Amino acid sequence: MPSSSLAPRAPAGRVRVDCHLHTVASGDAVLTLEQLAERARHAGLDVVCITDHNVTSAAIAATERDLGVRVIVGEEIRTPDGDVIGLFLTERIPYVLPLAEVVGRIRTQGGLVYAPHPFDQVRSSLGRVLPGLCAEGGVDIIEVFNAKIADQALNDRAAELARAFSLPGGAGSDAHDAPGVGAAYLEMPDFDGPAGFLAALAHARVTGEFRPHAPRYPRRPPGSARPR
């Protein structure tokens, strides 16, 4: 979408939510908070879930600024079984803990367990263990559209799993750069807090398109350090 154009806003009483995106704090992304604010406005987003890899610092900082878009603090957490996202977090969760412990820590904070890109073969995904985790009641939301997945059949497979376990679907751009913001989002009733978010998902509409990744480790000026 050209930066000079503005997308239509959501109808009254509804909001557009990008459930999964990354800022420079992730280490493999180049999206600044200022760029996020601008792109969210142009994409017509009302809410963004900042889900940086293994950190919450940028998401928390974003909640303390007026970016013109509501921010949900999230974290994409590496576990031995694959990545899982916690939404509505109040504190960071360490990575490489057992999956069951991470799920427990998300729930202890009153957060929601979100399974990102579950069947993507090129990223760390929960696909192999996800059906069992769903059966145990360890998942709140399955990402049924990830804008970085070129093969729509993988998103469809995630949607089928969500239906099989009567779980709501999420949608995220998985943006790592400004052009990716808003590539996928949910249009849903407005909400307040995790319980309201979960209830509103029953009436959500998925919108999304494939947009390729930004370079995983973009070129940096000579002598600059790569984030760790």
Q: Tell me how far apart the alpha carbons of residues 156 and 47 are, in angstroms, rounded to a whole number.
A: 24
Res. 214 pLDDT band, cuts 50 70 90: low
Q: Tell me how far apart the alpha carbons of residues 45 and 183 are, in angstroms, rounded to a whole number.
A: 10
Contact (Cβ atoms closer than 8 angstroms) between residue 75 and residue 55: yes
Q: Which CATH number fits domain 14-208: 3.20.20.70, 3.20.20.140, 3.20.20.240, 2.40.10.340?
A: 3.20.20.140
pLDDT at 1 over 80: no
Q: Tell me how far apart the alpha carbons of residues 194 and 206 are, in angstroms, rounded to a whole number.
A: 19
The answer, as to whether pTM is greater than 0.75, is yes
Per-residue exposure over 171-206, b if at least 16 CB sit within 10 Å of its own CB, e if not: bbbbbbbbbbbbbbbbbbbbbeebeebbebbeebeb
What H or E segment, with its residue span, contains residue 197? helix 193-200
The reported pLDDT for the residue numbered 42 is 96
The greatest distance separating any two alpha carbons of the chain, rounded to the nearest whole angstrom, comes to 51
What does the domain layout of the chain look like in residue ranges? 14-208
Q: What is the average pLDDT value for the chain, to the nearest integer? A: 93
The reported pLDDT for the residue numbered 213 is 72
**Model pLDDT for residues 30-82, shown as the tens digit of each residue:** 999 999 999 999 999 999 999 999 999 999 999 999 999 999 999 999 999 99
Percent of the chain's residues with pLDDT above 90:
87
Q: Are strands 184-189 and 205-208 parallel, antiparallel or unpaired?
A: antiparallel
**Model pLDDT for residues 166-186, shown as the tens digit of each residue:** 999 999 999 999 999 999 999
**Model pLDDT for residues 152-162, shown as the tens digit of each residue:** 999 999 999 99
User: Residue 98 corresponds to which tokens in the numbers above?
Assistant: 């057992």
Residues 6 or more apart whose Cβ sits within 8 Å of residue 95: 53, 54, 77, 78, 79
The reported pLDDT for the residue numbered 110 is 98
Percent of the chain's residues with pLDDT above 70:
92
Contact (Cβ atoms closer than 8 angstroms) between residue 56 and residue 201: no
Res. 226 pLDDT band, cuts 50 70 90: very low
Q: Tell me how far apart the alpha carbons of residues 123 and 149 are, in angstroms, rounded to a whole number.
A: 10
Q: Where are the alpha helices (DSSP H) in 125-192?
A: 130-135, 152-164
Res. 4 pLDDT band, cuts 50 70 90: low
